[in-house]
Amino acid sequence: MSTPSYNAALIDLAALRHNFRAIRQLVGPDLGIMAMVKADAYGHGLVPAARAFAQAGATCFGVAELEEGVRLRQAGIEGEIVVLLGVPAAGAAEVVEYRLTPVVFDRAVLPALGMAAAARQRRVAVQLKVDTGMGRLGIMPREIAALLAAIGEWPGLRLSGILSHFPTADGEDQAVALAPWPRFVELCEACVPSAAAGPGGKLLRHMANSAALLRFPVAHADLVRPGITLYGYYPAPAHGRFAAIDLQPAMSLRSRVVQVKEVPAGYGISYGHRFVTERPTRLAVLPVGYDDGYPRGLTGKAAVLIHGRRAPIRGTICMNACLAEVSEIPGVAAGDEVVLLGRQGEEMIDAEEIAGWLGTICYEILCLSGSRNGRVYLDSEAESGQQ
């Protein structure tokens, strides 16, 4: 079926390239950058986003799972692809075939990787994940020596990097936020041989996510891992904690009015009649609901843009529909464009504002909006001949 949905997530590839270049300008020409494209590139589309970043100069990509890395290689993406959640033993052959770099935090996968590398007469780069306070994936410091020894038992494996993660890099207390960094440096110096494994004997050290790369230059190490900044947003609403950087949100979510109707005063709206009109009210019915990544929790809080003006959502958000009051917006008709996320005229509703309404973070809003709707790719640079 070729008929498009009413709803679409519009992705500006030029904005993605712009954001990568802005990060490159901030960190300098020599520091490594791992473009995080996990979670379907935060809802922006794994392959199109990776291609955009590659056009802007990216040569290293971070994915969560093996399947994402395979898709990137099959799409022709070159450079290093790091699989951050590690790989199961059953995926070892694909790691070798597609030249992927798995993160390791469990010696149980090493025999499969080592044998797969030997079978193809290749050396597989692996990176070691250590836990410096996140309490998530990664081995504890006391386990590092044993895992390094286990890696060394397999000639086909090559330790190329060591990484960790900041749990509170966007937090208010700067000392607490930076505390894991010296622990990571100490582990690198004490437990990892300098001749370990990268090209020329260099072991890549990396820990800085978007918040840390904007806030703590000392923690840039050999490589930074921008995520949310690549897609046009700061890691937290408290922008003043971070270095100023010119970011452009790349995603907008658009729909169309499917019906305009007038209801009398005292009229209950949507499920549960959680909103009852106090006056004759004009409503625009929108074909967007929680199945489309517009959460029910936005009920009573959200607004959309119609004719360049804000229209409050009235009543409970349904599975595939919601209602916006347009009593104060003249001329609204079926077929008119609705912007749920993005700019229309002089007005803007960004993912950070929606996240505030919902009590979450902008990351979740982008993932929901992009993954639950068809994506349309735009390229303002190409259209203007600037690419």
The residues annotated as belonging to the active site are 38, 271
Q: Note the Cα 324 to chain centre separation in Å.
A: 29
How far apart CA 25 and CA 374 sit, in angstroms, is 32
Phi, psi at 127, each rounded to 5°: -125, 145
Quick one: CA dihedral 354, 360, 361, 363, positive or negative?
Answer: negative
Q: Residue 223 is encoded by which pair of tokens? A: 């490589």
In whole angstroms, what is the distance from residue 262 CA to residue 280 CA? 7
Q: How far apart are CA 72 and CA 63, in angstroms?
A: 9
What is the distance between the terminal CA atoms of the chain, rounded to a whole angstrom?
Answer: 34
Are 48 and 374 within 8 A, CB to CB?
no
Contact 260, 233 (CB under 8 A): no
Helix (H, G, I), strand (E, B) or coil at 249: coil
Helix axes 13-27, 46-55, angle to 10 degrees: 50
Which DSSP letter does residue 182 get?
Answer: H
Of the candidates 24, 25, 27, the one whose C-alpha atom is nearest the C-alpha of residue 219 is 27
